[in-house]
Structure 1
Amino acid sequence: MKIADIQVGVVEAPLITPFKTALRTVDNIRNIAIYIYTDDGHIGVGEAAPTAVITGETSASISHAITEFIKPAIVGMDIEEIAAIMERMEKSIVKNTSAKAAVDMAIYDLYAKHYKTPLYKLLGGYRKELITDITISVNDVDEMVKDSLSAVERGFNILKVKVGKDPIGDIERVIAIREAVGPNTTLRVDANQGWTPKQAVRIIGALEDANTNIELVEQPVHSSDIEGMRYVTSNTLTNILADESVFSPKEAIMLIEKRAADLINIKLMKTGGIYQAQKIVHIAEANGIECMIGCMLETKISVSAAAHFAASQKNITMIDLDGPLLCMNDPVIGGPTFNGQIITMSSEPGIGFSL
C-alpha cells in the first residue's frame, strides 16, 4: 500500500452557538480536509484547523505546506513505513503543525485500514469508551450560568468554563456557575493565557477560598511565560494544566523539569499529529504527569482521530473532545459515536469513516 496522491479540500460546519474565549470568537468552522490515496484504492482522511492565534497557521498556509512541501516528500512511500514517513514529513518543512497533523492522521487511518482494525486497537487498545467535557464559552455571568445548567440538563457531568477576559469578573463567573450546578458537577477552568502570573494566583486563591472545588486551571498565563507558569503552579493548590505552552516533546520535557505545570494538554494540531503526541504522553507518564486530550475548533474528522489516540492510552485521563458536539451537523459519515458526553469507538477499520 503506497501513497499515490494527496488532495486538499475544505470541511465546514456551522456552530450551534458562537464559541467565545479570551482569544477569539467563532461562528462557523471552516477547516482543511485532506485525502491520501493509495495505489491499491484506499483513502485516508485528515483535517487541519487553521488557528492563527495559537499555531500561526491559516487555511492558505496549511494548503500550501501540504501541497508544496509535504506531498512531494512522501508520495511513493509505503504506508507501513510510518517512522520513515513521519521523518520525511518533519524534515520537509519546520513548524506547520496543523498541516502535519492532517497528513499524520490520514496516514494512521490508512495504516489501520491496511491491518483491517480500528486505529485505537492498533495504537494500544486501552478502552473503547471516553467521557468528554463540554465547553462553556465566556460571556456575561447570567448567560454562562444558563449555558452551564443547560449542559448539565443534557447529561454532561464535566464543564470546561472559559474565562480570561477580566479577572474580577472571572471569579464571579466561576462562583456563580458552581452555585448553580451544585457540588457534583466537575468544573475545569480555562483562562486561555488571559492572566498575568500574579493575577492567576489571586484569582485561583479566591476560587479556592470560595470552595468552588475546581479540578484544574488550564493555561493561566501566556504560553511563552514558563517561569510564570511555574510561579502559579508553586503558589496554588489547584492543579495547573499546560496547553499552549506544550507543542513538542522537547517542550514537555522542559515544562516537567521546571515543575511548571501539574498536567499536560495534548492536541494533535499542536503536536503535528499522533506520532509526536505518543512521545509526549509517554514522557509525561514516565514522570508521573497525567494528560488531557483536547482539540481546537475541529469537526468530527480530526476529533475522531484524537479520540482513537485517547482510547489507546492509559495516561490520557481527561477528555476535552467536544468539537462535534458544538456543530449543527456532522460533515462525515461514520467514525466514533458522539452521544452526549460519551464517545464510543466503532469496530470499523482505521478511524472509521465511509468515503
Structure 2
Amino acid sequence: MRITGVRTGTISVPLKKPFKTAVRSVDAVRDVIVAVETDSGTIGYGEAPPTGAITGDTTGAILGAIDDHIRPTLLGRDGEDLEGNLKILQSCVVGNTSAKAALDIALHDLWAQSIGAPLYRLFGGSRKSVETDVTVSVNEPDEMAQDALNAVESGYKVIKIKVGKESSKDFDRLKAIREAIGQDVEIRIDANQGWTPNEAVDILDRMEKAGFGLELVEQPVKAKDLDGMAYVTARTSIPVVADESIWSASDALEIFRRKAADMVNIKLMKCGGLAEARRIVAVSEIFGAQVMLGSMLEGKICASAAVHLAAAYGAITRIDIDGPLLCASDPIVGGADFKGPDIRVSDAPGLGVMSFDEINWH
C-alpha cells in the first residue's frame, strides 16, 4: 500500500456562540484537512486547527509545512509502515506541531484501516465511550451563569469555566455559576496563563473558602513559569493541571520532577499527534499521575482521534473534547459519535471517517 498523494483542504464551521478565553476569541472552527491517499484506494484523514495564539501555527504555516517538507517525504512510502512514517514525519521539519499532528492522525488512520480495526483497539483499549465536559466562555457573570445552567439542563455533569481575562471578576463569575447550577455539578476552571503566581494563590484561596468546590485549575500562570506554577501547586489543595506548559514527554518529565503541577493536559496539536501523546501518558503513569485530554477547539477528525486515545488509556480520567459540540453543524460523515457529554468511538476501521461536506480542497 504505497502513499500516492497527500491532499489538503480547508473547512470552516460556525460556532453556536463565540468562544472566548483569556488569550483569544473565535466564532468558527477553521481547520486544515489532510487526506493521505494510497494506490490501494485507502485514505487516511487528519486535521489541524490554526491556533496561532497558542501554537504559533497559522493556516499558511500548516499548509506550507505540508507542501514544502512533509508531502515530498511521504510520497512513495509504505502506508502500513506506521513507525517508519512517523519517524520521518517528525524529522523532516522542525516545529510545526499542528501540521505534524494532522499527518500523524492521518497515518494512524491509514494504518488501522490497513489492519481492519478501530484505532482504539489497536492501542489496547476496550471502553467504547467517554464523557466530556463543556466549556463556558469568558463573559459577564450573569451570562456565564446562564450558559452553565443551559449546559447542565442539556445533560452535562462537568462544566469547564474560562477565567483569567479579568481577574477582578473571576470570583464573581464562579459565584454566579455555582449559585445557578448548585453543588452537584463538577466545575473545572482554566485561567489560560491569565494570573501571576501570587494572584493565583489568592484567587484560588478565596474560591476554596467560598465553597465553590473546584475539581481542578488549568494553567494558572505563564507557560514558561514552572517555578511560579510549582509555587501555586504547593499552596493550594485544588489540583493544578499544566496545559500550555506541556508540549512533549520531556516537558511532562520536567513538570513532574519539579512538582510544578499535579496533572498534565495533553493536546494533540501541541505535542504533534498521537505518538507523542502516548509517550506523555506513559510518563504520567510512571509518576502515578492521572491525565487530562483536551483540544484546541478542533473539528471532528481531531476530536475523533483524541477520543480513540482516551478510550485506550485508563490514566486518562478527565476529558475536554467539546469542539464538535460547540459547532452549529457537522460536515463530517462518520468518526466518533458526539451526543452531548457522551462520546462514543466508532467500531469502523481506523477513525471511521467516511466523507465530508463543504470542504475546500486545494
TM-score category (smaller protein)? over 0.9
* Contact 1:113-1:350 within 8 A present in 2 as well: yes
Q: Which residue of 2 aligns with 1:81?
A: 81
Q: TM-score, normalised by structure 2?
A: 0.97
Q: Which residue of 2 aligns with 1:266?
A: 266
Q: Which residue of 2 aligns with 1:339?
A: 339
Q: Which residue of 2 aligns with 1:4?
A: 4
Aligned counterparts of 1:80 and 1:105: Cα–Cα separation in 2: 14
Aligned counterparts of 1:67 and 1:313: Cα–Cα separation in 2: 34
Matched ranges for 1:1-355 at <5 A: 1-355=1-355
**One-letter amino acid of the structure 1 residue matched with residue 219 of structure 2:** Q
| Percent identical | 48
- Helix, strand or coil for the counterpart of 2:151? helix
Aligned counterparts of 2:23 and 2:78: Cα–Cα separation in 1: 41
* Contact 1:126-1:314 within 8 A present in 2 as well: no
* Contact 2:81-2:111 within 8 A present in 1 as well: no
* Contact 1:12-1:331 within 8 A present in 2 as well: no
Runs of 4+ that moved beyond 6 A = none
Query: Per-residue CA shift, 1:266-320, capped at 9, x if unaligned?
Result: 0000010001100000110111111111000111111111111111111111100
Aligned counterparts of 2:320 and 2:128: Cα–Cα separation in 1: 16
**Unmatched tracts of structure 1, length 5 or more:** none
Aligned counterparts of 1:291 and 1:124: Cα–Cα separation in 2: 17
1:346 Cα offset (Å)? 1.6
User: What is the alpha-carbon root mean square deviation over aligned residues?
Assistant: 0.8
**One-letter amino acid of the structure 1 residue matched with residue 196 of structure 2:** T
- Helix, strand or coil for the counterpart of 1:333? strand
1:87 Cα offset (Å)? 1.3
1:165 Cα offset (Å)? 1.1
* Contact 2:167-2:195 within 8 A present in 1 as well: yes
* Contact 2:266-2:277 within 8 A present in 1 as well: yes
Aligned counterparts of 1:67 and 1:278: Cα–Cα separation in 2: 27
**One-letter amino acid of the structure 1 residue matched with residue 189 of structure 2:** V
* Contact 1:157-1:185 within 8 A present in 2 as well: yes
- Helix, strand or coil for the counterpart of 1:18? strand
Query: Per-residue CA shift, 1:164-216, capped at 9, x if unaligned?
Result: 01222101111221121111100000000100000000000001100111000
* Contact 1:129-1:345 within 8 A present in 2 as well: yes
Aligned counterparts of 2:104 and 2:126: Cα–Cα separation in 1: 21
Which has the larger displacement, 14-23 or 87-96?
A: 87-96
Query: Per-residue CA shift, 1:89-118, capped at 9, x if unaligned?
Result: 111111110100000000011111011111
Query: Per-residue CA shift, 1:104-141, capped at 9, x if unaligned?
Result: 00001111101111111111113111000000000000
1:28 Cα offset (Å)? 1.3
1:47 Cα offset (Å)? 0.4
Aligned counterparts of 1:103 and 1:55: Cα–Cα separation in 2: 16
**One-letter amino acid of the structure 2 residue matched with residue 122 of structure 1:** L
* Contact 2:134-2:151 within 8 A present in 1 as well: yes
* Contact 1:299-1:331 within 8 A present in 2 as well: no
**One-letter amino acid of the structure 2 residue matched with residue 266 of structure 1:** I
**One-letter amino acid of the structure 2 residue matched with residue 306 of structure 1:** A
Paired residues, what number? 355
Aligned counterparts of 1:75 and 1:309: Cα–Cα separation in 2: 27
**One-letter amino acid of the structure 1 residue matched with residue 266 of structure 2:** I
Aligned counterparts of 1:349 and 1:57: Cα–Cα separation in 2: 30
**Unmatched tracts of structure 2, length 5 or more:** 356-362
Q: TM-score, normalised by structure 1?
A: 0.99
Aligned counterparts of 1:53 and 1:106: Cα–Cα separation in 2: 24
